[in-house]
Amino acid sequence: MLQTRRPSSLIRAAIAVAMAVPLACGCGPATLPAAGIQPSWVHVTERFAPSPPVARRNETVQLRLTDGAGRPLRHAQVAWSASMDMPGMVPAATRLVPGAAGIYSGSTVFVMAGPWTATVEVTAGGRHTAITLDFGVNE
């Protein structure tokens, strides 16, 4: 007969901490540079207000776009949407309105706390790119 052993309490505690820390930390700093590879012609920084974002509450999404030289990127077409890696989860999306100095903003509601991934699509000067940003939403 095959016997299975339950993990020790120390292993269970380590697993619980490893799973809880990312959720408890939320999105961390108020301003989040985009993770991953960004093209040389545009840089995206994401900010939420209030920060960190909280589930089931209206949140302002603000993106700051700069060109390769660090100057504000104006007159871009910008689309923002976010999703959780969970079947049936409703994505969050907003229409971003351009403001001063390369700032684009809109509002959305995150239906659930946890890890989210945003996709920012930028079209400017005949070029197009999609950049992903990972962030957390608090309860």
Residue 105: CATH number of its domain = 2.60.40.3340
- 9 occurs within a structural domain: no
**Mean of pLDDT over the chain:** 80
∠ CA 17-36-24, rounded to 5°: 25
pLDDT 10s digits, 52-95: 999 999 999 999 999 999 999 999 999 999 999 988 888 999 98
- Say if 16 falls within a structural domain: no
Ordered DSSP codes for 63-110: EEEEETTS-B--S-EEEEEEE-SSTTPPPEEEE-EE-GGGEEEEEEE-
**Percent of the chain scored above 90 by pLDDT?**
65
Q: Is residue 21 part of a domain?
A: no
pLDDT at 32: 47
**CA-CA distances (angstroms) from residue 25 to 54, 89, 107?**
12, 21, 22
Is 43 part of a structural domain of the chain? yes
Q: Which domain holds residue 125?
A: 27-137
**For the chain, how many structural domains are there in total?**
1
Mean of the pLDDT values across residues 101-121?
A: 95
**Res 36: pLDDT:** 55
- Any idea which of 34-48, 89-103, 111-125 has the lowest mean pLDDT? 34-48
